[in-house]
Amino acid sequence: MFKNVSDNGFLSILHSCVKKPLLIWDKKIRSGHIRRIMDNELQCLVLELKGKKLNNTYLTCPGNYKKTLGVKFPVIILTIKYLYKYFAFDIQILDDNNVRRKFKISTLVSQPDVKPFTCKLPLVLTEGWNQIAFSLQEYTKKIYNTNYYETLRIQVYPNCRIQRIYFTDEIPNEDPSEYNNNNNNNNNNINKKNNILLDSQYLIGSLKKR
């Protein structure tokens, strides 16, 4: 979908405030809900995902299962609100050996679990809104000793609220100007102490102890 896109090092795939935030997404709901609500803290519309079982309710992008995202940017940023229950998201990537790998990041996982095509990673969130920064290139290199080529698909599970998901060419010190303009600076209400940088040093250290 985005193989030839190069938008100043920034590509948004979900913005909760636009008219059709799930235009390129598909959703599955069996036990729970996915709906847009007003968040009192941010004072803007956000997407809320709630469900009793992760696999029964989720968002996936692209919505067309025959397509892939084809995003080259090596960093993904998720702005989500922790709802004090389990939460997870998956990112499927392609490396420079033409091998598909999947990173499964979850609050249910306490230790990394690395397999040839799947890597489970622990996630610890803090109260309120969090910005999760995940360097796909860094993890691909340190875990599989290959280079990240592109992102194929992302899947987001309960339980959370989502304001924004976007790709960048590097982990930013501040949000892109386009992000701030579209968001009417509501992101200023996201406590900066809640920026979560998934640190691969923790991963490598944990693997050495096993």
The residue behind tokens 């990673």 is 121
C-beta separation of 57 from 108 below 8 A:
no
pLDDT (0 to 100) of residue 193:
40
10-209 in CATH: which number? Answer: 2.60.120
Sign, Cα dihedral of 123, 126, 129, 132: negative
Candidate from 16-20, 25-29, 96-100, 176-180 with smallest mean pLDDT:
176-180
Q: What is the DSSP string of 22-83?
A: TTT-EEEESSEEEEEEEETTTTEEEEEEEESSGGGEEEEESSSTT----B--SEEEEEEEE-
Is 95 or 201 the better-scoring residue by pLDDT? 95
With a pLDDT cut of 90, the percent of the chain lying above it is: 70
Question: What integer best gives the mean pLDDT of the chain?
Answer: 86
pLDDT (0 to 100) of residue 9:
86
Provide the residue ranges of all domains of the chain, joining segments of one domain with +.
10-209
Contacts 24+ apart (CB under 8 A), 107-115: 111/206, 111/210, 112/203, 112/206, 112/207, 114/143, 114/207
pLDDT (0 to 100) of residue 53:
87
Amino acid, single-letter form, for residue 69: L
3-state secondary structure of 178: helix
**pLDDT tens digit sequence for 92-151:** 999 999 999 999 999 999 999 999 999 999 999 988 899 999 999 999 999 999 999 999
**pLDDT tens digit sequence for 34-61:** 999 999 999 999 999 999 888 899 999 9
Q: State the average pLDDT over residues 5-20.
A: 87
Q: How many angstroms separate the Cα of 190 from the Cα of each of 7, 79, 108, 183, 195?
A: 25, 9, 24, 12, 9
The residue behind tokens 């989500």 is 80
Q: State the average pLDDT over residues 161-175.
A: 87
pTM of the predicted model, to two decimals?
A: 0.85
Residues sharing a CB contact under 8 Å with residue 28, sequence separation 6 or more, in sequence order = 56, 57, 58, 60
How many CB atoms neighbour CB 27 within 10 A? 15
